[in-house]
Amino acid sequence: MLQSFKMSLLWTLTILLLAITVTLVPRAGLAQAVLETQAELERIDIEEHLGEKIPPNLVFTNDNGEKVPLSDYLGKGKPLLLTLGYYECPMLCNLVFNGLSDGVRQLDWKPGEEFQMITIGIDPTETAELAHAKKTNYLNDFDTLTGESGWVFHVGAQGQIEELADAVGFKYFYDEDRDEYAHPAVAFVIAEDGTISRYLYGIEFRQQDLKLSLLEASEGKIGSSLDRLILYCFHYDPDAGGYVVMAGNVMRLGGATVLVALTVLIALLRLGERRRSRRKAAAVGSLSTNGVRN
């Protein structure tokens, strides 16, 4: 009995510790490795550059070995879902890619049609072959992907990578002792003109956050009227790390809906009353006519 109690207590403390750890994860997301000093922690971060634009002239090599400027993905009427990582990453990048894949699979929009997914490798030594192999892993399990063009993986030169990382505020570094990159976990939502619209943090991406952020970045150009109405009722809360109900807008929308419903009801009641009056008048007229004939 005592042994069982000790085990239960141990499990409770473990779960509590994990919960506290998750709660205290910095807004920039999970680090690639357990870092030992505050100086190291400060080197992996996100400096939000909302409203600024990514450099369209930067050129990367896609997973087919083709040189592609970022401008090729802009001006197409589609927002971008951008991630930075590397393909031999031992853990975090795979968690981000998996979370993104899971979230996108829940959307009723398809990458390559309503929006575009692109991933840029931060390790300049990696090759297009590695990028293609990583992409293949997701093509095999990503049934909503529109062909091979919906999610494109890239590699690039050090200078190009660093310029893009600086533009979006993505702080990372190479840890020689561990032979790996330490970086935050984040996805960037980019408007079709290259404007940084939203940062989505972590390794899990809720369908609601993905949908509303893409709808927001497209300025309502994608999605249905209902989607745009839903966006009106939600706003992005940085503290919550996602979209939350905007009570004021919901109340205004509710009030407008009630007003419209009352207006329609009153109109229907008046229309019904007029019809009844006409029928009554017609009946009286018919009786009068019959009375004269008799």
Domain ranges of the chain: 26-227, 246-294
Give residue-wise pLDDT tens across range 68-125: 999 999 999 999 999 999 999 998 999 999 999 999 989 988 898 899 999 999 999 9
Closest CA to 45 of 55, 35, 31, 58: 31
Instruction: Give the mean pLDDT of 178-197.
Output: 94
Pick the CATH number of 26-227 from 3.50.50.100, 3.10.20.30, 3.40.30.10, 1.10.10.10: 3.40.30.10
pTM > 0.75: no
Inter-CA distances, 17 with 7, 10, 11, 108, Å: 15, 11, 10, 37
Q: Give the CA distances from residue 128 to residues 43, 82, 99, 224, in Å, rounded to whole numbers and listed in that order.
A: 27, 18, 23, 37
Share of the chain above pLDDT 70, in %: 59
* pLDDT tens digits, one per residue of 25-67: 434 444 444 445 556 666 788 999 999 999 999 999 999 999 9
Q: pLDDT of 235-277, one tens digit each?
A: 556 666 665 654 444 344 344 444 445 455 565 666 666 777 6
pLDDT of residue 27: 40
